[in-house]
Each structure stands twice: as C-alpha cells, then as structure tokens.
Amino acid sequence: MRETIRVWAISTLMIFAMVWQMNTIADADASKYLKEDLEIAVHDAAMCIDYRKLAEGIIIFDKKRAKQAFLDSLAANSHMKPVHASSLDMHPKPGSFFQDAFKVVTFDIIDDSHPDVDGFPYSYHHPLYDMDIVYDGPTIVAVVETYGPRYFSGEKSVIRRAASYSYQFGSGE
C-alpha cells in the first residue's frame, strides 16, 4: 500500500509539473511570435513615408498609410482579423497560435511633424510601461498585449511586447 501511494503521489506531481511546463512554454512561444510579428509590422509601417518631403531631405510618415500598413501586416503575420474597421484591436482567426485578442496599446509616430519633436535625437517616454528610449531619427513605436495561450487549464498571463523601427541619420563620415 505504501508503494502504491508513493507511485500515485509522484505521478500526480509529475502531471502538475508537465502542465506547468507546457503553459510556460506556450507563454515563451507567444512572446517570441508576438515580438517577431510586431517587428515586421512596425517595419512595414515605417515604409509609408511622404516621398515629397523625402525629396526635400525630411522623413515624414504618411500617418494614415503607416497605421493601415501596421494593422494589415500584424493581422496577416499573426493570423488575426480586426475587430472593426476603426479599431486597433484584433481577434484570432481559426488556426492562429493565439487564442485571445490583440490590444494595440500604443502606436506612436515620431517624426518632424510630431508637435513634441524639436529635432533628433529625441527622448521618448511612455508613462505606463516605463519606456525611456532615445531615438536618433524618425521612428514608429508600437506596444501590443494579449494573453498567452493555454494547452491546459490555468491562469493566463499577459504577454506585452514593444517594437520600434527608426531611420538613422548618417554621421557624414
């Protein structure tokens, strides 16, 4: 009887350890996939520049096109669909790795048309997420959050990732 109880106790402990490990792996994968998809999306958004201003040597983002390119890229790479046309939030499509909606909590465009920018380098501060970054050129910054998927029951953890894409000005050397 003693051996039977010991085997049951060890088996139960191993099952709990496996469940915890699988959920932890799901969180790590979700964080990695979200970061990769977010980096691609901000890069695609940064390609939407005003070419007339670029001819004058100034990088100004076409804000409407950049925002749409960001959303389209993030949705395509993450297998998500917008909640509705005017929303930044997205829901997963069937077959998506993610089980919960994406919430775009920040989408900032920092260029010479930004009211707070008086040239570069520019010190960016996000008060909610304790982000303090100095950008040397025009930049697009995005922060997205969702919940990590669960293979087994358990409390979902928030996955929040930030990414930015900057144009660097050469030193002229």
pLDDT of residue 3: 86
∠ Cα 48 98 82 (to 5°): 45
pLDDT over threshold 90, residue 140: yes
pLDDT tens for each residue of 21-72: 887 888 888 889 999 999 999 999 999 998 888 888 788 899 899 999 999 9
pTM of the model: 0.81
